[in-house]
């Protein structure tokens, strides 16, 4: 069976009218209902112009299979996760394309308890039903439909991560990118004010707007970062925060407006949790990890490696009862939040850490940057026939000097003073390279050039 292009390893997404349309969304609703027999499903949507129609079709497909639907309307992905667990629903579906281009959309799916659904754990079954399209007559009576807004309870859960006692004042710039983060943030900010938390906020691009007048919200793109950076400097803020479209990822800027790379944010959050629960386990991906391992061990915790991808990280966290898991891509997962990723909990914790430390955010990160500089993720698109050969060339060049080779996720090679991770993307036809060194930026530049030349096809 030929796989539909919109079905990825962990979710559904593609170009409107090419990979995904209302008819497909309707069949996905019926397929999800048929494959998972969820009884009740929570459905939400982002601000994209196409999202209301896709959500309507999805809901109709679910109801035609006799499934009861709780419609959250406009919300963030993590609000669907929260409501799925809080309402005891058998599944949750979020219509969103997150940070993808404007002509894209998609659907994120979870099962009971907001557990992830991957290709191996249910998505393939949904796919095959969608392709077959043989659902027969609609179920009578149709599933019930009701509208709910769990935002108050969700905001209470987020704020519960913060201890309001003894915090010093902070100024924060928050950039919602005209996605759906603004309303959820406001609910959280109201609770912080009621608790007497001395944080003040400058809101940027705060109102959801389907036209995305300031561009698609993807703070990871370098061209999208100057706006938040400038706002931080203009406001004299201590911290800058920016979210992607469905706010399941958040990104940080220090008081100078400098963007903070994801691996250092993971380390900051690990430090925050180890202060709250000494000895806790922290799950991390293997792309960039030396600094994180040092921070966790220094805090008396236990670092636990995982493959990249939310389903892998969440499963690993459950296996080892980890309090927190983080990926350098700005996905952060929390045991007390159904092991799910959140883009709101991280800024609460980072702000608390800065407030209590009495130090600037740049100071908290500076030592980590100096001890373990890294390349950032570099993408390559070699010809399909040359992908395996490119990996083989890298391994052949590095193996003679290697101290350790790990194949948990792609290939990771420890060469003493430097380390590389090379892996195929789970979602695109790309090879992804990360290199880190022990305090040597000149060596980092040299090795990036050498390994890039071996792979070829840098994007």
pLDDT, tens digit, for every residue of 351-399?
Answer: 999 999 999 999 999 999 999 999 999 999 988 778 999 999 999 999 9
Average pLDDT in the 326-354 region?
A: 97
Q: Which of 98, 355, 374, 421 is catalytic?
A: 98
Sequence ranges of the chain with CATH classification 3.40.120.10: 12-150, 170-259, 261-341
pLDDT on residue 79: 98
**Confidence band of 429 (pLDDT split at 50, 70, 90):** confident
Average pLDDT in the 272-298 region?
A: 97
| Cβ atoms 289, 247 nearer than 8 A | no
Sequence ranges of the chain with CATH classification 3.30.310.50: 378-455
The rounded percent of the chain whose pLDDT value lies above 70 is 100
* Strand-strand pairing, 104-111 and 302-306: unpaired
Residue 176 pLDDT > 90, yes or no? yes
CA distance 126 to 63: 16
In CATH, what class is 261-341? Answer: alpha beta
pLDDT on residue 425: 85
CA distance 344 to 407: 33
Average pLDDT in the 266-284 region?
A: 97
433: β partners = 378, 422
Instruction: Judge whether 425 counts as a catalytic residue.
Output: no
- The residue with greater pLDDT, 10 or 189, is 189
Average pLDDT in the 77-87 region?
A: 98
Average pLDDT in the 129-144 region?
A: 93
pLDDT on residue 275: 93
pLDDT on residue 135: 94
- Mean pLDDT, the chain, as a whole number? 96
Average pLDDT in the 117-137 region?
A: 95
Closest C-alpha to 25, from 55, 52, 46, 3: 55
**Confidence band of 140 (pLDDT split at 50, 70, 90):** confident
Is the previous residue joined to 141 through a cis bond, with omega within 30 degrees of 0? yes
The rounded percent of the chain whose pLDDT value lies above 90 is 95
Average pLDDT in the 421-436 region?
A: 90
Question: Up-side HSE of residue 92: CA atoms within 13 Å toward CB?
Answer: 28
Average pLDDT in the 80-104 region?
A: 96
Residue 427 pLDDT > 80, yes or no? no
Residue 428 pLDDT > 90, yes or no? no
Average pLDDT in the 199-225 region?
A: 96
CA distance 79 to 151: 7
pLDDT on residue 385: 77
CA distance readout (Å), 281 to 16, 151, 177, 250, 270:
41, 30, 33, 22, 9
- The reported pTM is 0.96
Neighbours of 129 (CB within 10 A): 19
pLDDT on residue 2: 85
pLDDT on residue 272: 96
| Cβ atoms 217, 189 nearer than 8 A | no
CATH of region 12-150:
3.40.120.10
In CATH, what class is 378-455? Answer: alpha beta
Would you mind telling me the total number of residues written for the chain in this entry?
459
* Strand-strand pairing, 170-175 and 40-45: unpaired
- The residue with greater pLDDT, 280 or 1, is 280
The domain made up of 170-259 has a fold known as Alpha-D-Glucose-1,6-Bisphosphate; Chain A, domain 3 (3.40.120)
**Among 58-67, 217-226, 406-415, 424-433, which stretch is predicted with the lowest mean pLDDT?**
424-433
* Most confident range, picked from 9-13, 73-77, 132-136: 73-77
pLDDT on residue 110: 98
424: β partners = 431
pLDDT on residue 426: 74
């Amino acid at each position: 069976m030929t796989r539909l292009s919109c079905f990825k390893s962990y979710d559904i997404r593609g170009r409107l009218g090419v990979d995904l349309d209302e008819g497909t969304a309707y069949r996905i609703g019926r397929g999800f209902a048929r494959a998972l027999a969820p009884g009740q499903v929570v459905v939400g949507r982002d601000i994209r112009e196409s999202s209301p129609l896709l959500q309507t079709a999805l809901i109709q497909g679910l109801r035609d299979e006799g499934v009861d639907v709780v419609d959250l309307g406009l919300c963030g992905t993590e609000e669907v996760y929260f409501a799925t667990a809080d309402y005891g629903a058998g599944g949750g579906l979020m219509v969103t394309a997150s940070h993808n281009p404007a002509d894209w959309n998609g659907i994120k799916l979870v099962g009971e308890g907001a557990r992830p659904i991957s290709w191996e754990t249910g998505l393939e079954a949904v796919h095959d039903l969608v392709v077959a399209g043989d659902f027969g007559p609609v179920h009578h009576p149709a599933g019930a439909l009701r509208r709910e807004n769990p935002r108050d309870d969700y905001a209470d859960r987020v704020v519960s991560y913060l201890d309001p006692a003894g915090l010093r004042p902070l100024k924060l710039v928050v950039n919602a990118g005209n996605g759906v983060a603004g309303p959820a943030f406001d609910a959280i900010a109201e609770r912080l004010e009621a608790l007497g938390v001395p944080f003040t906020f400058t809101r940027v691009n705060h109102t959801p707007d389907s036209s995305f007048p300031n561009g698609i919200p993807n703070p990871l793109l370098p061209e999208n970062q100057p706006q938040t950076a400038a706002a931080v400097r203009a406001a004299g803020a201590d911290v800058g925060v920016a979210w992607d479209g469905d706010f399941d990822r958040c990104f940080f800027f220090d008081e100078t407006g400098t963007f903070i790379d994801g691996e250092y944010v993971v380390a900051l959050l690990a430090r925050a949790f180890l202060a709250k629960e000494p000895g806790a386990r922290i799950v991390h991906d293997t792309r960039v990890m030396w600094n994180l391992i040092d921070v966790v061990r220094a805090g008396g915790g236990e670092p636990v490696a995982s493959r990249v991808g939310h389903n892998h990280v969440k499963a690993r966290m459950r296996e080892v009862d980890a309090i927190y898991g983080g990926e350098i891509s700005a996905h952060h997962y929390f045991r007390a939040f159904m092991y799910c990723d959140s883009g709101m909990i991280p800024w609460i914790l980072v702000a608390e850490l800065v407030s209590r430390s009495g130090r600037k955010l740049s100071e908290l990160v500076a030592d980590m940057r100096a001890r373990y500089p890294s390349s950032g993720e570099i993408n390559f698109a070699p010809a399909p026939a040359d992908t395996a050969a490119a990996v083989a060339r890298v391994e052949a060049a590095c193996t003679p000097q290697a101290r350790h080779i790990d194949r948990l996720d792609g290939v990771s090679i420890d060469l003493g003073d430097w380390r590389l991770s090379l892996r195929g993307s789970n979602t695109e036809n790309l090879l992804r390279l990360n290199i880190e060194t022990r305090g040597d930026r000149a060596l980092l530049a040299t090795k990036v050039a050498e390994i890039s030349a071996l792979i070829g096809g840098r994007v």
